[in-house]
A and B are shown apart, each in its own frame.
Chain A
Amino acid sequence: MSFPSLSEDQLDALREISNIGMGHAATALSQLIGETIYLRVPRVTVTDIAQVPELLGGAERVVAGITLQVLGDARGNILLIFPRDSAQRLLARLLGSEEEGLLFNELGSSTMKEVGNILASAYLNAMGSLLHLTLIPSVPLLACDMAGAVVDYVLIELSAAGDLALMVETEFHGVDPGEELIKGHFFLLPDARSLELILDVVGGRR
């Protein structure tokens, strides 16, 4: 199976699954920071691996990126990308400290990983119980660096199997319309075989 041959029904199914998963993740995040979290309609993109950094807002933009592998019945990667200032604000909210280098110290980075863990677990739990699949997140990994450098590990893995990446993306953001806005992007990148399995289960046959 190749990624580009997805039908409109299949794309809808992926968006819907992701919306449910992300709904649970957003609830978890909003309980964590005591603020309502809003979701955009998920986007499903099939693209050449070379285009992925552009879709993340540019290869050189500095981000806090958390990656987790999806283990269990389906395989793939989850990427959680926060612009640097959003990550900074998220940490300030969680830790009650405005310290500058927070993102790079032990406490800050383990807090970010824990946020990644909570969001990914909520997402995969919801998706797994919907699809009757066991989906387990791996230990989260964190890097705060240029977006291209943060994601190329995932692209390398995908590129070993082909030239394309399928991304299910949801943008989320807090309420504050001003400077204090917390926003981020949640990406699911299933491998080709797992995508097939997921689509089989939802019945969105080609």
Chain B
Amino acid sequence: MSDRLSVGIAEIRIAEPPARLVTYGLGSCVAITLFDAERCLGGLAHTLLPSAHRAGDVHRPAKFVDAAIEAMAAELVARGAARQRLAAKIFGGANMFEPLLGAADNAVGARNIRSARETLVALAIPLLAEDVGGNFGRTVEFDLASGRVRVRAVRGREGEMLF
């Protein structure tokens, strides 16, 4: 259990096996994992807002989906990962209070998901899997030994899923 490292809101962490990176209770926030399977080095980011570039604010990249992906990719490469081997998975982006907050398309969860997909395309990082949207919270656990991500939910669906 001591291998489990917690990643807070607006935080990026890089780790190697046997560590597991965990972030708890994602709602509209989006978590992104990047992994170099050959080097067994990966990172997890827990982000709040779609775009630092649009907000003109880069002092805390981990708050923003786009800036966090860029910062995490750069950090992984600096730590010995190969840029072209990085692959991503994304989680979260729910709309917790569905009916009243206007069209689901404009909800911040949906905008976070879109920003993640667009940023990955722009950086040519393949998106291997995603578990996004819905109206329930998720806890995400990234196992650096296998690259698999376990997602736990207490509402909306039962139990755990592996990605």
Contacts and interface: CB of A to CB of B under 8 A. Distances in A.
A160 B8 CA distance: 17
B7 to A, nearest CB: 10
B88 interface: no
Contacts of A146: 24-25, 27, 137, 139, 154
Residues of B in contact with A, size category: 20 to 34
Interface string B3-26: 000001111000000000000111
Contacts of A150: 25, 27, 96, 137
B63 A149 contact: no
B48 interface: yes
A102 interface: no
Interface string A77-121: 000000000000000000000000000100000000000000000
A60 B24 contact: yes
A59 B46 CA distance: 13
A49 to B, nearest CB: 6
Contacts of B27: 143, 145-146, 148-153
B100 A141 contact: yes
Interface string A126-163: 00000000000001011111111111110110011001
B28 interface: yes
Nearest to A138: B100
A155 B108 CA distance: 12
The residue among A49, A67, A148, A150 with the most chain B CB atoms within 10 A of its own CB is A148
B96 A145 contact: yes
A50 interface: yes
Contact of A145 (B8, B100, B155): B155
A79 B96 CA distance: 14
B9 A149 contact: no
A52 B23 CA distance: 14
Interface residues of A, number: 30
Contacts of B28: 152-153, 156
A49 B139 CA distance: 18
A121 B9 CA distance: 31
Nearest to A60: B24
Nearest to A104: B155
A53 interface: yes
Interface string A59-81: 11010000100000000000000
B101 interface: yes
Contact of B25 (A67, A139, A149, A160): A149
A34 interface: no
7 contacts: A141-B100, A146-B27, A146-B137, A148-B25, A149-B137, A155-B48, A159-B48
Interface of B: 8-11, 24-29, 48-49, 55, 60, 63, 94, 96-97, 100-101, 108, 135-139, 154-155
Which 4 residue pairs spanning A and B have beta carbons closest together? A148-B25, A149-B137, A149-B27, A59-B25
Given A150-B96, A151-B27, A152-B25, 14 more contacts: A49-B9, A50-B8, A50-B10, A53-B9, A59-B25, A60-B24, A60-B139, A141-B97, A148-B24, A150-B25, A152-B27, A156-B29, A160-B49, A160-B55
